[in-house]
Chains A and B, each alone.
Chain A
Amino acid sequence: MASLNAGKGKLNNSELWAGVAGLVFGTLVIWSGHALKVGSISDPGSGYVLFYTGMLIWILAVVISASAVVEGGRTFAELWAGTRWSKPFTVTVCLVAFSVLLEPVGFILASIPLLLLLLRAIEPVRWTLALPLAVLVPLGIWWILSRLLLIQLPSGIFHVG
């Protein structure tokens, strides 16, 4: 509770910024609903539910923000205090890079480095296990999907797989 009150009245308050994000999202939804035509109660248009859901989001975001200002909330640093934040961060970067490279590079060539990186960089698995796993798992998946189930996986500009 002490840490919650710490962010009271301060801008470095994760709860407050989450509420502000809600306000921005709610505004976008209200605007979209309005643009799509709200219609009337007897003839609701395409934007009817969006418009009123946006209003509800806005109200809830105001409640959350107000409660963050009055009661305080954890700072962003406190959210990750005592955790190994670099691990999820590394995995996130790997996943984003993989999703961008999957189509141009192809499944096999993108998956082998991804698996090797995840097996070695996060909590290192010994090389003698990491290497065969990183090579055999993508090859196994590719063989099952492409050969047995006839599901096409991206082969990339190098046409591997």
Chain B
Amino acid sequence: MDVLVSIAHGFGVALQPVNLAYCFIGVLIGTLVGVLPGIGPISAMSLLLPVTLSGTPESGIIMMAGIYYGSMYGGSTTSILVNIPGEAASIVTCIDGHQMAKQGRAGPALGISALGSFIAGTFALIALMLIAPSLASVAIAFGPTEYFGLMVLGLVVLTFLTQGSMAKALLMACVGVVLGLIGLDSITGQPRLTFGRMDLIDGIGLVPVVMGLFGVAEVLLNLEQVIKRDVLDARISRLLPDGKEWKASAGPIGRGTILGFFLGILPGGGAVVASFASYALEKRLSRNPERFGKGAIEGVAGPEAANNAAAGGAFIPLMTLGIPPNVVMALLLGAFVIHGLQPGPLLISQNPGLFWGIVASMYMGNLMLLVLNLPLIGLWVQLLRLPYNILFPLILIFSIIGVYCSSNNIFDVHVMVGFGIAGYLMRKLGYEPAPLVLAFVLGPMLENNLRKSLILSQGDLLVFVQRPISATCLLAAAALLIGPSLPSLRRKRELIALDEGA
């Protein structure tokens, strides 16, 4: 009964005209960045982070969340019609989605992708409503030891899933921790790594780091290659799948939803892992696995449902524990902090309007996305024809302005350009930026919880293995670190490793 009252309260917040407008802007921008290759939700969210300051916390966070799950919908359009993933979670959709389009079945591919995403998004929200409050009540009992264990696990999972060498990914995570510690020590108040510069006293901002590593670096990498977009010219008809297509897709949507939701909750996981895992599962379960890669609708329905369910699931660790499970959620954490809010076990009880309002707005957003993605498909196809040589100068100028406006400080623009160049070189050398960004956000929290644990236990390291949650997390992290040295596990890791920057 309490949950129903809370949901009603949430819809009261979400249905306020201003919040509906922000939700619409968020999902519209999300679809836009999802559709356009070369801009992802990370760049768009960091660009718009300063804009959230102008409204209430509810409005700002509703918009940011909308960008995230909106991009999941939009990404599939580009994958199906152009065979270029609009964002990383839609890479798998290219395989069968584009084949379907080439066979004249672009309509059902787009339709099942949008409807599957809607079903999965709805399920994820219901599960979020049921699980988050219970988990938050358990998480109140968490101490610094548990938080330390969870953060270590999150970082290790992400480095495990990052493409390329594990040593490089771990090195990136360590660099992220160091960068996150720049500024005043939260316990002693001592300035660290500031080199006497006042600009560094508060540390480096998240926005210039992310905009540099993901926005500027991505543009530099894209410019190296000639991007040819072969947009499908055929008229798209019959967006709704027929009975046979629904029958084939029902199972993959159901399995993708459940798998995606749980992979979304896991620290370090997220929409990209979920879509790959769902595709692999469907191929394994299929009676005719040879159809995959040649236009099997199951290869579109499963991964698209999985990435949307994961996007919903990823809100659970952030809202209940205050731990962002991936880079997108780290940016959302930034939005909370900008408004003086700390996500964690007390968020739901102290700010019920905010929590339930965000959840309800996500449902409204999913409905809006269905309207935006199916009837307006022609508009998105036109947008795909926008050449990159016009698009990239605009991306750069908006990035610079976004960073400048976030702090009104030219130093942040220098930081962004510096990280842009560094990010470009890092990617050329095979160093992925995702572990760095997550460690940059988690670094200060990780340090704080480690030092508190050591002080409270009077230097007894056994405290980390005596508490069950921390022991489980650290054991799992250790297994993932040692795992890649075994040849069979190394091969598995290479198969599921991600290109976060894609």
Assess the A95–B401 pair: CB atoms within 8 A.
no
Assess the B397–A115 pair: CB atoms within 8 A.
yes
Assess the A114–B219 pair: CB atoms within 8 A.
no
Using an 8 Å CB-CB cutoff, how does the interface string of B165-204 with A read, 1 for contact, 0 for none? 1011011001101100100010110101100000000000
Assess the A91–B454 pair: CB atoms within 8 A.
no
Q: In the complex, how many angstroms separate the beta carbon of A88 from the nearest chain B beta carbon?
A: 4
Question: Which residues of A40-60 have CB atoms within 8 Å of chain B's CB atoms?
Answer: 40-50, 53-54, 56-57, 60
Assess the B451–A141 pair: CB atoms within 8 A.
no
User: CB < 8 Å: which of A44, A47, A64 contacts B168?
Assistant: A64
Please classify the interface of chain B as helix (H, G, I), strand (E, B), loop, or mixed, using the class held by over half of its residues.
helix
Assess the A122–B174 pair: CB atoms within 8 A.
no
Give every chain A residue within 8 A of B390 (Cβ-Cβ): 119, 125, 129, 133
Tell me, yes or no, whether B367 is within 8 Å of chain A by CB.
no
Tell me, yes or no, whether A69 is within 8 Å of chain B by CB.
no
Give every chain A residue within 8 A of B404 (Cβ-Cβ): 102, 153
Give the one of A15, A61, A87 with max B CB within 10 A: A87
Give Cα A141–Cα B393 distance, bound, in whole angstroms.
Answer: 14
Tell me, yes or no, whether B147 is within 8 Å of chain A by CB.
no
Query: Given the known A-B contacts A103-B410, A153-B404, are A84 and B224 also in contact in the complex, defined by CB atoms under 8 Å?
Result: yes
Tell me, yes or no, whether B459 is within 8 Å of chain A by CB.
yes
Tell me, yes or no, whether A32 is within 8 Å of chain B by CB.
yes
Question: Which residues of A51-105 have CB atoms within 8 Å of chain B's CB atoms?
Answer: 53-54, 56-57, 60-61, 63-64, 67, 79-80, 83-85, 87-88, 91-92, 95-96, 98-99, 102-103
User: CB < 8 Å: which of A45, A48, A87, A118 contacts B393?
Assistant: A118
Q: In the complex, how many angstroms separate the beta carbon of A54 from the nearest chain B beta carbon?
A: 8
Tell me, yes or no, whether B377 is within 8 Å of chain A by CB.
no
Q: In the complex, how many angstroms separate the beta carbon of B317 from the nearest chain A beta carbon?
A: 22
Give Cα A92–Cα B181 distance, bound, in whole angstroms.
Answer: 28
Assess the B389–A123 pair: CB atoms within 8 A.
yes
Give Cα A98–Cα B175 distance, bound, in whole angstroms.
Answer: 27
Tell me, yes or no, whether A161 is within 8 Å of chain B by CB.
no
User: CB < 8 Å: which of B171, B421, B451 contacts A44?
Assistant: B451
User: CB < 8 Å: which of B165, B416, B421 contacts A92?
Assistant: B421
Tell me, yes or no, whether A152 is within 8 Å of chain B by CB.
yes
Assess the B429–A79 pair: CB atoms within 8 A.
yes
Give every chain A residue within 8 A of B446 (Cβ-Cβ): 49
Give Cα A157–Cα B452 distance, bound, in whole angstroms.
Answer: 50
Query: Given the known A-B contacts A53-B177, A60-B170, A119-B390, are A88 and B455 also in contact in the complex, defined by CB atoms under 8 Å?
Result: no
Assess the A141–B171 pair: CB atoms within 8 A.
no
Assess the B181–A42 pair: CB atoms within 8 A.
no
Give Cα A123–Cα B223 distance, bound, in whole angstroms.
Answer: 9
User: CB < 8 Å: which of B190, B219, B226, B389 contacts A36?
Assistant: B190
User: CB < 8 Å: which of A18, A40, A125, A152 contacts B431?
Assistant: A18
Interface size class of B (residues with CB under 8 A): 35 or more
Tell me, yes or no, whether A7 is within 8 Å of chain B by CB.
no
Query: Given the known A-B contacts A84-B224, A95-B396, are A61 and B389 also in contact in the complex, defined by CB atoms under 8 Å?
Result: no
Using an 8 Å CB-CB cutoff, how does the interface string of B450-461 with A read, 1 for contact, 0 for none? 110011001101
Assess the B171–A60 pair: CB atoms within 8 A.
yes
Give every chain A residue within 8 A of B319 (Cβ-Cβ): none
Query: Given the known A-B contacts A79-B428, A88-B220, A141-B401, are A48 and B181 also in contact in the complex, defined by CB atoms under 8 Å?
Result: no
Give Cα A60–Cα B187 distance, bound, in whole angstroms.
Answer: 29
Give every chain A residue within 8 A of B397 (Cβ-Cβ): 111, 114-115, 137-138, 141
Q: In the complex, how many angstroms separate the beta carbon of A128 from the nearest chain B beta carbon?
A: 13
Tell me, yes or no, whether A109 is within 8 Å of chain B by CB.
no
User: CB < 8 Å: which of A32, A67, A91 contacts B223?
Assistant: A91
Assess the A83–B224 pair: CB atoms within 8 A.
yes
Tell me, yes or no, whether A160 is within 8 Å of chain B by CB.
no
Query: Given the known A-B contacts A60-B171, A83-B224, A125-B390, are A102 and B429 also in contact in the complex, defined by CB atoms under 8 Å?
Result: no
Instruction: Please report A residues at the B interface, Cβ cutoff 8 Å.
Output: 14-15, 18, 22, 25, 29, 32, 36, 40-50, 53-54, 56-57, 60-61, 63-64, 67, 79-80, 83-85, 87-88, 91-92, 95-96, 98-99, 102-103, 111, 114-115, 118-119, 122-125, 129, 133, 137-138, 141, 145, 149, 151-154
Complex A-B, nearest 9 residue pairs according to Cβ-Cβ distance, in ascending order: A42-B459, A123-B389, A118-B393, A41-B459, A88-B220, A87-B223, A83-B224, A49-B447, A46-B185
Offer 22 A-B interface pairs, CB within 8 angstroms, sorted by A: A41-B459, A42-B458, A44-B454, A45-B188, A46-B188, A46-B192, A48-B451, A49-B446, A56-B174, A60-B168, A60-B170, A84-B224, A87-B224, A91-B396, A95-B396, A102-B400, A103-B410, A123-B388, A129-B390, A141-B401, A145-B405, A151-B405
